[in-house]
């Protein structure tokens, strides 16, 4: 948002200095007034809420928040809890696979659609459609599809392959990949559309030049087009990443964390601690750790991505 602001303001600022210096705060008064509600929300709700949560994560709040300091006790317990460690591990597995899978599948689909095929609109709609469903609905559908007695396994066995076994949701080692299938099915459509828009933004002359030079199609995509689409990939990555961190409803709908604790995720741990266990302090500590993790990954990356360009 900050970048967009500066980009928008830059020409106006220059024009201002050439004439007389206006009072900075009164510049673009109307737009600033229009921004006040959003600034208020950002400061009070987001920032205020975050600070409040972090502060109370150092208390022993139970069902109700109370300021009785417990030091690092909640964090101590958090990192000694097997469920939390499993949650982190699961999120890492899901996160890496989801980023790679969504980007690869999304780009390949977009590239295929970009080859001026017949019925592009129909395909685009079909691929984008799952995105219109909530995670809860997606989760339920895939829970049925992956159910050994109703879904794939039954269909394949019905076709004559009696020993076929495909039951990821009841296997602790495979359950995260069962979730991943549903996540990819739901999320790739949007990424595909964004990629497709990016591909459409590539100048036709680039393709002509590549053809004149005799470079193959695949090579053109990998060596020329993808580097040119860097901003599109960044946008996609931000979208995918925010979806990963808040992964919760898909798990609740498909496995509710099972079998056992094999598909627990951090967001679910937070909810369970706060509302199931009536232990707000523990839930706050877990959500603070989630924030810390996001910050650790995000800050250096954002600095490189956005900070670098400003200097250049």
Partner 1 sequence: MRLTTKLLAASAIVSASAANAVELEVMHWWTSGGEAAAVNEFAKAVNERTDHTWVDGAIAGGGDTARPVMVSRIIGGDPPAAFQFNHGRQAEELIEAGLLLDLTDVAEEQGWADIVNPSTLLDACTIDGRVYCAPVNIHSWQWMWLSNAAYEDNGLEVPQNWTEFTESASALEEAGVTPLAVGGQAWQQNGMFGVMAIALAGQEDWLAVNRDKNAEVARGENYARVFQAFADARDLSDGIDVQDWNQATNAVITGQAGAQIMGDWAQGEFAVAEMTAGEDYSCLPGLGEVAVLDTGGDAFYFPVTGDPEIEAAQKEMAALLLSPEVQVAFNSKKGSLPIRGDVDLETVNECTQKGLDLLAAGNTLPSGNELLTPDTITQANDLMTEFWNTPSMTAEDAQERYAQIIEDAE
Instruction: Enumerate binding residues for partner 1 (CB under 8 A).
Output: 62-64, 77, 81-83, 148, 170, 172, 256-262, 272-279, 282
Length of the chain, in residues: 312
Between 275 and 306, whose beta carbon lies closer to partner 1?
275
Q: Which is nearer to partner 1, 124 or 157 (CB)?
A: 157
User: Could you identify the residue written with the tokens 């219109």?
Assistant: 132
Q: How far apart are CA 208 and CA 280, in angstroms?
A: 61
Cβ burial 34-55 (10 Å sphere, 16+ → b, else e): eeeeeeeeeeeeeeeeeeebee
Q: How far is the CB of 85 from partner 1 (least distance, A)?
A: 11
For the bound state, the minimum distance from the C-beta of residue 145 to partner 1, rounded and expressed in Å, comes to 16
CB of 259 to partner 1, least distance (A): 4
Phi, psi of 70 (to 5 degrees): -125, 10
Helix axes 120-128, 82-113, angle to 10 degrees: 170
For residue 97, the minimal CB distance to partner 1 (Å) is: 22
Q: Residues 190, 235: contact at Cβ < 8 Å? A: no
Shortest CB 257 distance to partner 1, Å: 8
List the structure tokens of 41: 């929300």
Q: Which is nearer to partner 1, 221 or 269 (CB)?
A: 269
Least distance to partner 1, CB of residue 26, Å: 40
CB nearer to partner 1: pick between 31 and 256: 256
Structural tokens at position 137: 């609905």
Among the listed residues 196, 235, 291, 240, the one whose alpha carbon sits nearest the alpha carbon of residue 3: 235
CB nearer to partner 1: give 193 or 274.
274
Residue 225, CB-side half-sphere exposure with 13 Å CA sphere? 28
| Closer to partner 1 by Cβ: residue 91 or 244 | 91
């Amino acid at each position: 948002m900050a970048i967009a602001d500066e980009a928008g303001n830059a020409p106006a600022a220059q024009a201002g200095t050439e004439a007389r210096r206006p009072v900075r705060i009164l510049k673009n008064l109307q737009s600033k007034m229009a921004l006040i509600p959003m600034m208020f929300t950002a400061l009070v709700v987001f920032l205020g809420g975050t600070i409040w949560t972090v502060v109370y994560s150092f208390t022993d709040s139970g069902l109700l928040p109370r300021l009785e300091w417990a030091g690092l006790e909640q964090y101590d317990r958090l990192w000694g809890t097997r469920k939390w460690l499993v949650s982190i591990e699961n999120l890492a597995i899901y996160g890496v696979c989801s980023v790679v899978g969504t980007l690869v599948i999304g780009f390949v689909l977009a590239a295929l659609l970009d080859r001026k095929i017949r019925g592009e609109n129909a395909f685009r709609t079909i691929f984008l459609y799952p995105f219109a469903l909530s995670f809860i609905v997606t989760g339920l559908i895939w829970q049925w599809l992956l159910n050994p007695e109703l879904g794939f396994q039954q269909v394949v066995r019905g076709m004559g392959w009696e020993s076929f076994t495909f039951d990821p949701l009841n296997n602790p080692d495979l359950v995260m990949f069962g979730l991943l299938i549903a996540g990819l099915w739901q999320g790739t459509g949007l990424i595909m559309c964004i990629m497709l828009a990016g591909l459409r933004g590539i100048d036709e002359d680039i393709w002509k030049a590549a053809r004149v030079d005799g470079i193959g199609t695949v090579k053109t995509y990998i060596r020329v087009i993808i580097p040119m689409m860097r901003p599109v990939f960044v946008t996609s990555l931000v979208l995918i990443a925010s979806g990963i961190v808040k992964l919760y409803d898909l798990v609740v709908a498909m496995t509710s964390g099972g079998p056992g604790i094999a598909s627990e995720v951090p967001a679910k741990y937070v909810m369970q601690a706060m509302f199931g266990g009536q232990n707000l302090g523990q839930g706050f500590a877990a959500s603070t750790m989630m924030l810390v993790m996001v910050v650790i990954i995000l800050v250096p990356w954002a600095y490189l991505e956005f900070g670098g360009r400003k200097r250049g």
